[in-house]
């Protein structure tokens, strides 16, 4: 090897080591930390400062590149304007929100920012969502979102919380095409927390969906059905955004396993939070990871993770897979088609599990209660007395569904 090559290799190795030491220092200071994001409180290392901005990837066949880290908007955006400014300066240009987040405050906060910095609009890939399924409802939600956010157009408009593509029909396609032709939206798609694999496979067959945001993490990414669904969307040119990437569950009793995982990964040179994000970023078919980043320390931590160029080791990947196997019984995989199809009552089991996950894994009781209150009151009232035995029999992870439903009513009502 030439002297010049040796010098170059030494510099690259030194930069990688510096970056990794920065993560280790943060991980050691945090302990178990926040499940909302990895490496909370991290600062940018010198190597990362050289790179400066979060990398981008193509978003399906849209012709647009998006930042690999997306700013999730389910927090108090009106009072965190500096955070938005910092996110954009560091290359977090994909901003995600919804008509319903914070009762509209999330969108209004983005509007407050764009009113002050109108020239920044062209730098942002702006995404919002509608929970309405009627064409009029979607039209009304879109008009409201445009007004709140002080913008003439939405880059990507989602139907929110899809459980099946059966409702994404020709009428919805016509509506999306009309909204595109009017210049109100550029692209159209949906988000899904339940039956993700079926939804992705269905979208790939439709041939006109531009983007999907789905629950996707180290627990699910190796399962054959999920791999087939992601491959199908990739082949169809659908841009994919991963959410719920830390893989928290509704039981929230994984402390011992988390401690063991953290110790193993630290020996490999990663924090557990870094490893969980990197496992997803290593799949080039995933365009972006959406993360809720409600304060500056979490924002900078996730930016540092996105800029770090080190890869997971084989041992690191193995540790994550072992952890996923050891804690599978505490995680709801969102396969609502299994459990809910056995019930005579219309109980949205997967949605309730997600509320418990927000409460116990995210440690965000306010968010959990807000989403729980979206379930019709009569369903919530009867939920604790329903017979869940049929659902428990078909649950592939053997979750104690009846107990968890009762606990949800008790702590979230």
In contact, 99 and 129? CB cutoff 8 Å? yes
pLDDT of residue 129: 97
237: left (phi over 0), alpha (psi -120 to 50) or beta: left
Distance CA 172, CA 180 (A): 12
In contact, 196 and 215? CB cutoff 8 Å? yes
pLDDT of residue 27: 35
Would you say the C-alpha torsion 233, 237, 238, 241 has a positive or negative sign? Answer: positive
Write phi, then psi, for 301 (nearest 5 degrees): -65, -45
**How far from 319 is each of 25, 225, 258, 363, CA to CA, in Å?**
20, 22, 11, 24
**How far from 243 is each of 37, 233, 332, 336, 393, CA to CA, in Å?**
11, 16, 15, 17, 28
Look up tokens 């009552």; give the residue. Answer: 345
Integer distance in angstroms from the first to the last C-alpha of the chain?
67
In contact, 128 and 99? CB cutoff 8 Å? yes
Nearest residue to 279 via CA among 215, 217, 193? 217
Q: What is the pTM of this model?
A: 0.86
Which residue blocks in 132-195 are alpha helix, DSSP H? 135-148, 170-181
As given in the structure block, the two tokens for residue 194 are: 């339940």
List domains and CATH numbers for the chain: 14-324 (3.20.20.100), 332-412 (no CATH)
In contact, 303 and 49? CB cutoff 8 Å? no
One pLDDT digit (tens) per residue for the chain, 413 residues: 444 444 444 444 433 333 444 443 333 333 323 333 333 334 444 444 445 899 999 999 999 999 999 999 999 999 999 999 999 999 999 999 999 999 999 999 999 999 999 999 999 999 999 999 889 999 999 999 999 999 999 999 999 999 999 999 999 999 999 999 999 999 999 999 999 999 999 999 999 999 999 999 999 999 999 999 999 999 999 999 999 999 999 987 566 777 888 888 888 777 788 789 999 999 999 999 999 999 998 899 889 889 988 888 899 999 999 999 999 999 999 999 999 999 988 899 999 999 999 999 888 898 899 999 999 999 999 998 999 999 999 999 999 999 999 999 999 99
Distance CA 384, CA 238 (A): 40
In contact, 265 and 271? CB cutoff 8 Å? yes
Would you say the C-alpha torsion 98, 100, 101, 105 has a positive or negative sign? Answer: positive
Report the length, in residues, of the chain.
Answer: 413
pLDDT of residue 298: 86
As given in the structure block, the two tokens for residue 278 are: 């990197």
Distance CA 182, CA 197 (A): 32
Count of beta carbons in the 10 Å neighbourhood of residue 144: 15
């Amino acid at each position: 090897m030439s002297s010049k090559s040796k010098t170059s290799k030494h510099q690259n190795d030194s930069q990688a080591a510096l970056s990794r030491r920065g993560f280790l220092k943060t991980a050691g200071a945090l302990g178990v930390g926040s499940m909302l994001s990895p490496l909370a409180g991290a600062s940018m290392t010198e190597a990362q400062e050289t790179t400066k901005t979060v990398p981008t990837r193509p978003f399906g066949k849209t012709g647009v590149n998006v930042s690999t880290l997306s700013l999730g908007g389910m927090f108090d955006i009106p009072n965190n304007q500096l955070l938005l400014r910092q996110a954009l300066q560091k290359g977090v240009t994909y901003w995600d929100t919804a008509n319903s987040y914070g009762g509209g405050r999330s969108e209004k906060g983005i509007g407050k920012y764009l009113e002050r910095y109108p020239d920044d609009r062209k730098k942002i890939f702006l995404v919002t969502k509608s929970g309405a399924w009627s064409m009029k409802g979607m039209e009304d939600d879109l008009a409201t979102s445009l007004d709140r956010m002080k913008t003439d157009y939405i880059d990507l408009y989602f139907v929110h919380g899809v459980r099946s593509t059966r409702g994404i029909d020709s009428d919805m396609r016509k509506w999306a095409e009309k909204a595109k032709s009017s210049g109100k939206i550029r692209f159209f798609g949906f988000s899904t927390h339940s039956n993700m694999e079926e939804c992705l496979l269905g979208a790939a067959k439709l041939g006109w969906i531009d983007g999907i945001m789905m629950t996707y993490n180290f627990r699910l990414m190796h399962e054959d059905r999920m791999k087939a669904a992601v491959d199908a969307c990739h082949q169809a040119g659908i841009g994919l955004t991963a959410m719920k990437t830390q893989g928290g569950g509704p039981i929230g009793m994984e402390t011992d396993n988390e401690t063991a995982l953290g110790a193993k990964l630290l020996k490999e040179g990663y924090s557990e939070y870094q490893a969980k994000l990197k496992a997803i970023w290593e799949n080039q078919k995933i365009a972006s990871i959406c993360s809720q980043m409600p304060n500056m320390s979490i924002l900078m931590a996730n930016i540092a993770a996105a800029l770090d160029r080190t890869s997971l080791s084989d041992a690191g990947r193995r540790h994550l897979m072992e952890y996923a196997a050891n804690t599978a019984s505490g995680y709801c995989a969102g396969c609502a088609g299994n459990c809910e199809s056995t019930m005579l009552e219309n109980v949205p089991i997967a949605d309730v599990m997600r509320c418990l996950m927000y409460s116990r894994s995210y440690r965000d009781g306010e968010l959990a209660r807000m989403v729980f209150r979206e379930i019709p009151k009569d369903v919530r009232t009867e939920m604790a007395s329903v017979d869940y035995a049929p659902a428990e029999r078909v649950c592939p992870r053997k979750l104690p569904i009846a107990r968890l439903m009762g606990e949800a009513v008790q702590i979230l009502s």
